[in-house]
A = this chain, B = another copy of it.
Amino acid sequence: METDGHFARKDLLGLEDLSSEEILTVLQAAKSFQEISRREVKKVPTLRGQTVINLFYEPSTRTRTSFELAAKRLSADVVNFTVSESSAVKGETLVDTARNIESMHSDIIVVRHPVSGAPHLLARIVKSAVINAGDGTHEHPSQGLLDLFTIQEHKGKLEGLKVLIVGDISHSRVARSNIYGMRTLGLQVTVCGPPTLIPVEMERMGVRVTYDFDDALTKTDVIMMLRIQMERQHGGLYPSLREYARLFGLNRDRLNRAKPDVLIMHPGPVNRGVEISPEIADCTRSLILEQVSNGVAVRMALLYLLSRGAYGKAAH
């Protein structure tokens, strides 16, 4: 549980403005928390009597469960505050809801919201620590951190590694958080996907762009496949799922041409047979389940580091 403590922030809103020292502090803390979930008694008293609120404006059983388990294993009290789309429409504003929650003496608010920037608005108006659990198409920083943690576990380092991110870059908050974190830590990032799904600002972010998956995958240390959000894409941004799978799906044939120690990642949930073939999703080089596992450790680290930050503030 010892970290050198260079994480003096109130909130975690994104990886864009974190320093490499701050990111490494989270990864180091996560390493020490990783062991707790492997014990028979998976619980420490670290956050006993602290209140964590999961404020979710989008349904997300997986991410919510990961934060809920992280909080419970730290002995925090956690309450799920789910706002359905319908009640958000007729109900109070995000700001009023957040102020209400804070008035109940929350310590940390974990927020997922369909609007990019919503957690930043929240963070400005509440004294509680705010963790962005995904805002629109903007950032999903705890996912970016758990991906970095997982790569570091396997490669023993981060700087200088080559990462290829494949899929719908435009709409992916996972891609965006990873790109920010990876660029800060000195990884080389290439994105690949249909031209309609790659935003123009990539080169400004120090990211290479390619449309040729077959060529790009031969040179990379990590292949990160993104989920095609079939429920969201109705704009004809790519021709068909079959065509997408043919051009940008990861399968055995493609993998045979990658480095033998390439890491395969995916934030889940997986569309088997679309962006990744079933046999590759389940192969020994696939880290998909390790990512999920490390997600709990990273979120324990975040809750711990931000609660400590909150103490600091309260003492002022």
Candidates B51, B68, B96; contact of A79 at CB < 8 Å: B68
User: In the docked arrangement, what's the CA distance between A268 and B95, Å?
Assistant: 13
Quick one: which of A53, A81, A230 has the most chain B CB within 10 A?
Answer: A81
Candidates B49, B81, B290; contact of A103 at CB < 8 Å: B290
Q: A90-B231, A269-B91, A272-B93 are in contact. Are A42 and B100 (CB under 8 A)?
A: no
Which one, A3-11, A59-67, A160-168, is touching chain B? A59-67
Q: A79-B65, A79-B68, A292-B100 are in contact. Are A48 and B41 (CB under 8 A)?
A: yes
Q: Check A269–B103 contact: CB distance below 8 A.
A: no
Q: Does A72 contact B (CB under 8 A)?
A: yes
Q: Does A83 contact B (CB under 8 A)?
A: yes
Q: Does A242 contact B (CB under 8 A)?
A: no
Candidates B40, B65, B82; contact of A49 at CB < 8 Å: B40
Residues of B within 8 A of A296 (CB): 104-105
Q: Check B42–A50 contact: CB distance below 8 A.
A: yes
Q: Does A115 contact B (CB under 8 A)?
A: no
Q: Check B59–A69 contact: CB distance below 8 A.
A: no
Contact with B along A223-247 (1 / 0, CB 8 A): 0000000110000000000000000
Number of A residues with CB within 8 Å of any CB on chain B: 54
Residues of B within 8 A of A120 (CB): none
Residues of B within 8 A of A289 (CB): 99-100, 102-103
Q: Check B314–A40 contact: CB distance below 8 A.
A: yes
Q: Check B37–A59 contact: CB distance below 8 A.
A: no
Q: Check B105–A38 contact: CB distance below 8 A.
A: yes
Residues of B within 8 A of A42 (CB): 49-51, 77, 105
| Nearest CB on B from A194, distance (A) | 21
Q: Check B90–A230 contact: CB distance below 8 A.
A: yes
User: In the docked arrangement, what's the CA distance between A49 and B69, Å?
Assistant: 11
Q: Check B104–A293 contact: CB distance below 8 A.
A: yes
Q: Check A79–B83 contact: CB distance below 8 A.
A: no
Q: A100-B268, A104-B65, A104-B292 are in contact. Are A49 and B38 (CB under 8 A)?
A: no
Q: Check B43–A39 contact: CB distance below 8 A.
A: no
Residues of B within 8 A of A96 (CB): 268-270, 272
Q: Does A92 contact B (CB under 8 A)?
A: yes
User: In the docked arrangement, what's the CA distance between A296 and B104, Å?
Assistant: 7
Q: Check B272–A65 contact: CB distance below 8 A.
A: no
Q: Check A51–B69 contact: CB distance below 8 A.
A: yes
In A103-129, which residues have CB < 8 Å from any B CB?
103-105
| Nearest CB on B from A132, distance (A) | 20
| Nearest CB on B from A33, distance (A) | 12
11 pairs of residues in contact across A and B, judged by CB atoms under 8 Å: A40-B50, A40-B311, A42-B49, A42-B51, A43-B48, A43-B49, A65-B101, A69-B105, A90-B230, A92-B268, A104-B293
The 4 closest A-B pairs by CB, nearest first: A41-B49, A92-B269, A43-B49, A103-B292
